[in-house]
Amino acid sequence: MRVIIEASPESVARRAAGIVADLVRRKPRCVLGLATGSTPQRTYAELIRLHRDEALDFSQVVTFNLDEYVGLGPDDPHSYRHFMRQHLFDHVNIPPGNTHVPNGLADNVDLACEQYEREIHEAGGIDLQLLGIGTDGHIAFNEPGSSLGSRTRLKTLAPETIRDNAAQFGHADRVPRLAVTVGVGTILESRRCLLLALGAAKAQAIRQTVEGPVTAQVTASALQLHRDVTILLDEAAAGQLERRAYYHEVESSQHLLETRRGPASGGVRR
Instruction: Give the separation between CA 236 and CA 214, rounded to whole angstroms.
Output: 23
8 A C-beta contact, residue 241 and residue 207: yes
3-state SS class at 194: strand
134 forms part of the interface with ligand GLP (CB under 6 A): yes
117 forms part of the interface with ligand GLP (CB under 6 A): no
**CB closer to ligand GLP out of 36 and 99:** 36
- The binder of ligand GLP chosen from 66, 70, 182, 188 (CB under 6 A): 66
What residues from 3 to 62 belong to the interface with ligand GLP (CB under 6 A)? Answer: 35-39
Q: Which residue is catalytic, options 68, 117, 127, 136?
A: 136
Distance of CA 154 to the CA centre of its chain: 19
Give yes or no: 46 in active site. Answer: no
- The binder of ligand GLP chosen from 24, 44, 51, 67 (CB under 6 A): 67
- The binder of ligand GLP chosen from 161, 208, 219, 254 (CB under 6 A): 161
Give yes or no: 143 in active site. Answer: yes
Name the amino acid, one letter, at 100: H
Element (H, E) at 155: strand 153-156
Select from 149, 150, 131 the least CA-distant residue to 209.
131
Give yes or no: 10 in active site. Answer: no
Task: Report in angstroms how near the CB of residue 38 gets to ligand GLP at its nearest.
Answer: 4
Neighbours of 169 (CB within 10 A): 14
**CB closer to ligand GLP out of 10 and 54:** 10
Task: Report in angstroms how near the CB of residue 198 gets to ligand GLP at its nearest.
Answer: 7
- Backbone φ and ψ of 170, nearest 5°: 90, -30
Residues 62, 68, 74, 76: is their CA dihedral positive or negative? Answer: negative
Say how many residues touch ligand GLP, by CB under 6 A.
13
Give yes or no: 255 in active site. Answer: no
Task: Report in angstroms how near the CB of residue 197 gets to ligand GLP at its nearest.
Answer: 8
Task: Report in angstroms how near the CB of residue 58 gets to ligand GLP at its nearest.
Answer: 21
- The binder of ligand GLP chosen from 44, 89, 116, 141 (CB under 6 A): 141
Q: Which residue is catalytic, options 67, 117, 127, 164?
A: 67
Outline where the chain has alpha helix (H): 9-26, 41-54, 80-87, 109-122, 159-169, 184-188, 203-211, 244-261
End-to-end, the C-alpha distance of the chain in Å comes to: 4
3-state SS class at 193: strand
**CB closer to ligand GLP out of 70 and 250:** 70
Chain contacts with ligand GLP (rule: CB under 6 A): 35-39, 66-67, 132-134, 140-141, 161
**Known catalytic residues?**
67, 136, 138, 143
